[in-house]
Amino acid sequence: MHATDTLVTRAGMALLVAGCALVGTGLVSAQLPLDAIKESGQSVTAAYEGWYVTPDKKKALLIGYWNRNTKQTLDIPVGPNNRIEPGGPDMGQPTHFDPRRGWGTFSVVLPDDFGDKKLTWTLVANGKTETIPMGLHPDYVIEPYREVGMGNTPPLLKFDAAGKTFTGPPIGIAHEFTGSVGQAVPLTAWATDDGVEDPRFPGRGNKPLNVRWIVHRQPVGAEVKFDNDRPKVDKDKGGEARATASFSMPGEYILRSQGTDLSGEGGGGFQCCWTSALVKVTVK
């Protein structure tokens, strides 16, 4: 089996297991789609990763998505076809959906009195409607800030050499850039990691550290081009990772900067240890 096949299977099974685990809990109202995987024409489904406690003791939902198309990228603006209820439709969810799995793309911080209520994320793509409910079921507690078994913690990201650091799931806008249409906008990040060795891979020493840039939101009809969406992390320069992006039209864009160690995107499905931060780019 090829590596890509393994990832596809793992992602698909993650959603299937999630669906099965939630049956009878009140968190599933419809069967997840199980029809054949195709290049285009398929649905996009919310992926409820679980809930966690933030550093300031708030409860938050961590949410990703599953674009079942292998080649079709979709832009679905917030509104009737991309809505979170109640309280939405806009709760910071992506409007740009690359093919396959998007791990932990955003968080929703809940009010203290949320209790046993539910939120639902509805996505309509290619004429197919998928609605996934999300709540504070005890089986869905995750620990994105520290992997207990290995003591691993997520990488640290920052967007100013002397600025604030971010770790774990994305909450709010971490940084803002500005630029002009057709011009390369510098996207510089700094990434560092704890260097904890993974006992599953003895002898490797410090884990490889990676940074990736992903489109989270863009104006309808727009296009973002990265010179390198996976820039090299230069340890000799404090973990500096330099990239640029060009934007085809004016407006507000939101990009996601993702830092991963050996545990990879989504922590291999365990939601630790990786970091995502959302940055806004205003293009004139």
For 221-275, how does the pLDDT look when each residue is reduced to its tens digit (9 = 90+)? Answer: 999 999 999 999 999 999 999 999 999 999 999 999 999 988 888 887 788 999 9
Sorted by sequence, the CB contacts under 8 Å of residue 78 that are 6+ apart come out as 88, 89, 90, 93, 95
pLDDT confidence of residue 53: 97
Phi and psi angles of residue 14, each rounded to the nearest 5 degrees, phi first = -60, -45
**Percentage of the chain modeled with pLDDT above 70:** 83
pLDDT confidence of residue 198: 62
**Percentage of the chain modeled with pLDDT above 90:** 74
C-alpha atoms less than 13 angstroms from C-alpha of 196 in its C-beta half-sphere? 17
Q: Burial, 221: exposed, middle or buried (Cβ in 10 Å; 0-12, 13-18, 19+)?
A: exposed
pLDDT confidence of residue 202: 59
Scanning the structure block, which residue is given the tokens 């060795």?
Answer: 197
Three-state SS for 212-253 is EEEEEECCCCCCEEECCCCCCCEHHHCCEEEEEEEECCCEEE
C-alpha atoms less than 13 angstroms from C-alpha of 204 in its C-beta half-sphere? 14
pLDDT confidence of residue 16: 41
* 37, pLDDT greater than 80: no
The C-alpha atoms of residue 49 and residue 40 are separated, in whole angstroms, by 25
Query: What is the pTM for the complete model shown?
Result: 0.85
pLDDT confidence of residue 23: 39
For 68-104, how does the pLDDT look when each residue is reduced to its tens digit (9 = 90+)? Answer: 999 999 999 999 999 999 999 999 999 999 999 999 9
pLDDT confidence of residue 195: 79
All domains of the chain in start order, with CATH: 3-140 (no CATH), 156-283 (2.60.40.10)
